[in-house]
Structure 1
C-alpha cells in the first residue's frame, strides 16, 4: 500500500471500436469526469474472461443499440493520465468493425455517459473537436482505421 492507506493506481484494459460506415467513423461526446466533452469511440472496460471481440460487440450494443460484424484488432496503445482527480492508466485495445445493418442509426443508450452519436468523415477537417486524448494522438500520427483493401461482404 501507498502511504496514507491508499492502493496505488492499477492499469485497466479498455476496448474501443472504430465503427466504420462508408468513409465515416462513429463518435460520441463523452459525459463524465475523465475526458468530459471530448469526442470518443464507443467502448469500455474489458470484463474478466471476455475476448476483445466479445467486449467490442457488447460495448457497442450497450452504448448505441447496434450490433456489429467483421470485428478485427487494429492496434494497442498505452495511456497514462496523470492530470485530474486521480491518476489513471489504460491499455487501450483498438478494434475495427462495421454495423451488421448498414441502414441502422445509433441510439444514445447511455445518456448519462454520452451526449449522442454521430458519423464523421475520417479526415482532420471532418472530425469534431476536441477529440479524446488517445484518439487525438492517433489522428495526429496519421493513423488510418480504414482497410487498405476493400472488404468482401
Structure 2
C-alpha cells in the first residue's frame, strides 16, 4: 500500500502524486524507449513498481480525495473488485505518467546512451562518479 507523502501540506498534492507515478513507471518507460517494448519484468508481482503505481493511481481517487470521487475517502480499495470506471481512470493516469517518463528520458538520451555504454564496460558506478555523470542534467530542467 502506498502512503501519502510526509508533507501533507504540499501546495500541489496532485502534481506530487503525478511525479511519484512518473518515477515508479520510469523503469518500464526506459525499457519501452531503449528496447522498443516492455518485458514481463516491468510488471512483476505485488511489490513491483507497476503494482505500486497502480495502487497509488487508485488511492488518488478512492482514499486521498483528489480524483473523480472528489472530497471523499472510501477506504482501501479491493483491487479485484474495482469498477470498470475505476480501472479506466487508473489506466489513463498510469498511461499519462508513463508517457511523461518516456518524454523525460528521451530528453536525456545522449546522457543515457553514454551512461549505458559505460555501465556495459564497468558494470557499476558508485557515489561521486555517478553524481559527476548526473550533475549536468540536474542543473537544468529537462523539458
Name the TM-score class by shorter chain. under 0.3
What TM-score do the two structures reach when normalised by structure 1?
0.23
The structure that has the greater radius of gyration is 2
Compute the TM-score of the two structures, normalised by the length of structure 2. Answer: 0.24
Structure with the bigger RCO (C-alpha within 8 Å, sep 6+) is: 1
